[in-house]
Amino acid sequence: MINLFVQTDKEGIILKCSPSTTQILGYKPHELIGRNVRTLWFDKKEHDFTKEIYLKNPKPTKNAEARFIHKNGDFLWLKFNTSPRFTEDGIYIGSDTIAMDITKQKEMEKTLLLYKNVIENTNEGIMITNSKNQIVYTNEAFSKITKYCLGEVMGKNPNILKSGLHDKRFYKKMWDDIDSKGFWAGEIWNRHKDDGIFPELLTINTIKNKKGDVENYIAIFTDISDLKKGEAEIRHMAMHDSLTNLPNRNMLSEILTHSIKSAKRQNELMALMFIDLDNFKLINDNYGHKKGDSVLIEAAKRLKLALREEDVVCRFGGDEFIVLLEHINSSKDAAKVAQKINQAIKAPFQTDDHSFYLSCSIGIALYPLDANDMEELIKNADAAMYQAKSNGKNRYSFYSLELSKKISKELSLENILRQSIEKNNFILYYQPKFSIKNSKIVGIEALVRWQSDKFGFMGPNEFIPIAEKTGLIIPMGNWILKRACLDIKEWHEKGLYYGDISVNVSGVQLEDENFSKTLKEILKTTKINPELLKLEITETTLMGDISQWQNKLEEIRKLGIDISIDDFGTGYSSLSYLAKLPVDELKIDKSFIDDIPKDKDACVIVKAIINLAKSLGCKTVAEGVENNTQKEFLKINGCDIIQGYLYSKPVPKKELEKLFV
């Protein structure tokens, strides 16, 4: 930094000056000597005022600032320190001044002040963070938009504004762009201090030092709530029916295109229903379009009420509607919804002075079973709707006739099953388990059977899957558990049998939050020793989140109930996780027993399961044993218990009691 030295007398006449005056003021020293310093001041009044005060009380002046005139006519800022000179008698005779040029500093301060004024008076919110993404500055607009003042957010991470509407991938892509490009721009949803969310147009820029290291991030954003609201209103008008406010054909096209892509990507089933109000034209023709419009509005409301929240209903035109069902498990789900819609439309439509009775015909097409694209799906559902009309109206029809028959039978089966559960129209069969050492009964497995008036005698493979899908397995399973407990109690009290009883439990039952409570109530009601009860759970049920099942199984074990893993060897559960489960018994799946000892792979697997069980402190049960060759192989290799037709098939209670003798 170059300094300027000037010596003046008490009137301000320059007596001496340093050579640096040329660099700073543009004057050579001899050009200034003899001149009054007042001629160099930009503001003469300021000089006179300063001089007057100084003459009255000459004393050192530190870091004073003033504007001076350059030889070329420009002005510049000087910061100076002045020291008065006195005679030996103390009479003031002049001063010595050292000054430096601070023009650039002043210009920078002016620019910074301008920037600050701009930042503080702009409508855009501005937030600055350091390299660690900690907030170091926000402007007034930031506070107005977010409701946070600077003191509340200083030092915090900007994620306090996260709305929760964006997933991790969104933010990862944002930061990837910031790191690679130095900026990101786009729309984002953030959260106010009062917990309300709002859309904003956001730009984030990176500020780096000369070394290329990040020093700051600057975020500039605008609340675009009003803009979004206006866009949404315009889009809503373009995409919705003005009468019913349902999505129209334009919206349907967008929704269907997206849904088909999603269903294809996730390998899911979806259904499209084409719905036509039967004889609706008669209302318009006989009572006028106003009455007809009232009926259409009410029909739209009923359709929405009959659907899940995620389902979509559109007005296709006139008295035609389309319903889209995504993420369905089977065609039966669509049939159930169609039944609900038929019932909803059958209820009388009441206008001011008339009651109208309508019905509807529904055609159902499934993706990807019945169509490969949107147009084909609508066309086939439309064709199925006309089939429903030709069959007498007030009904639904699938595009595939064979599927219609199958679904109809399944629904009928479900309805009868529901009634049978309410009446406890089930019976238990029992299959004993035998010690491989002495062929004595050491356990009994309870197996449910159903005698239906319409479908006849049915095994569990025919109705259990339906019960699981519908949730009916929970009341059915509760009945099975209670009945089995009562029977084992009876046999113990009569001295017929002193072993335990096994009951198969579905994954649906285990997932029921009330399952442990139900077990406690059954044990309390039947008054049996919990050690007499064993629950059999298939290995495939336990696949997935082992920690979840571990907690549930430990709850069951705390009640004193043993746990057996059924169909073992058919799943892919981790052995390290298996060791963590509270398991007492492994049941080797019948498919492996069928192939021993002739199939080498089956033999290896069975031996491995037996050895695994021993290492875990569990017993092994071989199910499906049908001959002595299989029995001998299992006995040689250390299996504990066998079960199968070699000794007994599943039999009713009375027949089982004969085996106790």
pLDDT tens digit string along 79-127? 999 999 999 888 999 999 999 999 999 888 888 787 777 777 788 889 9
Mean pLDDT score, 239-261:
90
Tokens 């109530």 -> residue: 521
Helix (H, G, I), strand (E, B) or coil at 362: strand
Q: Does the pLDDT value for residue 572 go beyond 70? A: no
What distance in Å separates the CA atoms of residue 409 and residue 403, rounded to the nearest whole number?
A: 10
Q: How confident is the model at residue 279 (pLDDT cuts 50, 70, 90)?
A: confident
What distance in Å separates the CA atoms of residue 368 and residue 270, rounded to the nearest whole number?
A: 8
pLDDT tens digit string along 548-562? 788 889 999 999 999
* Summary count for the chain: helices (H), strands (E): 25, 27
Note the pLDDT of residue 405.
66
Q: Does the pLDDT value for residue 419 go beyond 90? A: no
Mean pLDDT score, 505-524:
91
Q: Does the pLDDT value for residue 473 go beyond 70? A: yes
Q: Are strands 585-588 and 619-623 parallel, antiparallel or unpaired?
A: parallel
In the chain, where does the domain assigned CATH 3.30.450.20 lie?
3-107, 122-228
Lowest mean pLDDT among 230-239, 326-335, 390-399, 501-510: 230-239
Burial track 437-452 (b if 16+ CB lie within 10 A, e otherwise): eeeebbbbbbbbebeb
Q: Are 364 and 399 in contact (CB under 8 A)?
A: yes
Q: How confident is the model at residue 507 (pLDDT cuts 50, 70, 90)?
A: confident
Helix (H, G, I), strand (E, B) or coil at 283: helix
Of 214-223, 397-406, 449-458, the range with the highest mean pLDDT is 214-223
Q: Does the pLDDT value for residue 403 go beyond 60? A: no
Helix (H, G, I), strand (E, B) or coil at 195: coil
Q: Count CA within 13 A, CB hemisphere, residue 560.
A: 10
Burial track 491-526 (b if 16+ CB lie within 10 A, e otherwise): beeeeebebbbbbbbbbbbbebeebeebbeebbeeb
**What φ, ψ does residue 618 adopt, rounded to 5°?**
-110, 155
Mean pLDDT score, 434-463:
87
Q: Are 485 and 529 in contact (CB under 8 A)?
A: no
Q: Does the pLDDT value for residue 469 go beyond 80? A: no
**DSSP assignment string, 625-659:** --SHHHHHHHHHTT--EEESTTT---EEHHHHHHH
Cis before 597? omega within 30: yes
Lowest mean pLDDT among 365-369, 423-427, 481-485, 501-505: 423-427
In the chain, where does the domain assigned CATH 3.30.70.270 lie?
240-399
**What φ, ψ does residue 587 adopt, rounded to 5°?**
-105, 115
Crossing angle of the two packed helices 460-470 and 473-494, in degrees rounded to 10: 130
Closest alpha carbon to 593 in 633, 546, 625: 625
Question: What does the angle CA 290 – CA 294 – CA 296 come to, to the nearest 5 degrees?
Answer: 115
Closest alpha carbon to 101 in 83, 71, 73, 75: 75
In the chain, where does the domain assigned CATH 3.20.20.450 lie?
418-660
CATH class of 240-399: alpha beta
Strand partners, 7: 16, 96
Cis before 58? omega within 30: no
Assigned superfamily of 3-107: PAS domain (3.30.450.20)
**What φ, ψ does residue 654 adopt, rounded to 5°?**
-65, -40
**What φ, ψ does residue 320 adopt, rounded to 5°?**
-105, 135
Q: How confident is the model at residue 6 (pLDDT cuts 50, 70, 90)?
A: very high
Closest alpha carbon to 638 in 601, 586, 599: 586
Q: Residues 6 or more apart from 276 whose CB is under 8 A from it?
A: 319, 320, 321, 360, 361, 385, 389
Mean pLDDT score, 507-532:
92
Mean pLDDT score, 205-229:
90
Tokens 């073992």 -> residue: 568
Q: Residues 6 or more apart from 86 whose CB is under 8 A from it?
A: 58, 92, 93
Q: Does domain 418-660 have CATH number 3.20.20.450?
A: yes
Closest alpha carbon to 13 in 98, 95, 99: 95
What distance in Å separates the CA atoms of residue 246 and residue 224, rounded to the nearest whole number?
A: 26
Note the pLDDT of residue 325.
94
What distance in Å separates the CA atoms of residue 341 and residue 274, rounded to the nearest whole number?
A: 12
pLDDT tens digit string along 32-91? 999 999 999 999 998 888 888 888 889 999 999 999 999 999 999 999 999 999 998 889
CATH of 122-228, one of 3.40.50.300, 3.30.300.30, 3.30.450.20, 3.40.462.20: 3.30.450.20
Q: Does the pLDDT value for residue 574 go beyond 70? A: no
What distance in Å separates the CA atoms of residue 484 and residue 133, rounded to the nearest whole number?
A: 64
Distances (CA, A) of 285 to 86, 280, 289, 291, 294: 117, 9, 8, 10, 14
Note the pLDDT of residue 543.
64
What distance in Å separates the CA atoms of residue 556 and residue 566, rounded to the nearest whole number?
A: 16
Which tokens in the block code for residue 3?
């300094």
**What φ, ψ does residue 102 adopt, rounded to 5°?**
-120, 25
Q: How confident is the model at residue 578 (pLDDT cuts 50, 70, 90)?
A: confident
Query: Longest Cα pair distance anywhere in the chain, in angstroms?
Result: 140
Note the pLDDT of residue 404.
60
Closest alpha carbon to 160 in 229, 219, 228: 219
Note the pLDDT of residue 407.
64
What distance in Å separates the CA atoms of residue 589 and residue 285, rounded to the nearest whole number?
A: 68
What distance in Å separates the CA atoms of residue 150 and residue 140, rounded to the nearest whole number?
A: 9
**What φ, ψ does residue 426 adopt, rounded to 5°?**
-130, 160
Mean per-residue pLDDT over the chain, rounded = 89
Note the pLDDT of residue 550.
84
Note the pLDDT of residue 551.
85
DSSP state, 364? E
Q: What is the dihedral of CA 141, 144, 148, 149, to 10 degrees?
A: 60
Note the pLDDT of residue 464.
86
Mean pLDDT score, 303-328:
93
What distance in Å separates the CA atoms of residue 638 and residue 172, rounded to the nearest whole number?
A: 55
Tokens 């989140």 -> residue: 545
Closest alpha carbon to 490 in 651, 653, 661, 649: 653
Q: How many residues does the chain have?
A: 661
What distance in Å separates the CA atoms of residue 33 and residue 17, rounded to the nearest whole number?
A: 7
Closest alpha carbon to 155 in 182, 179, 188, 127: 127
User: How remote is the C-alpha of 310 from its chain's centroid?
Assistant: 15
What distance in Å separates the CA atoms of residue 40 and residue 33, rounded to the nearest whole number?
A: 12
Q: How confident is the model at residue 152 (pLDDT cuts 50, 70, 90)?
A: very high
Mean pLDDT score, 484-492:
94
Q: Are 500 and 533 in contact (CB under 8 A)?
A: yes
What distance in Å separates the CA atoms of residue 609 and residue 587, rounded to the nearest whole number?
A: 9
What distance in Å separates the CA atoms of residue 193 and residue 151, rounded to the nearest whole number?
A: 13
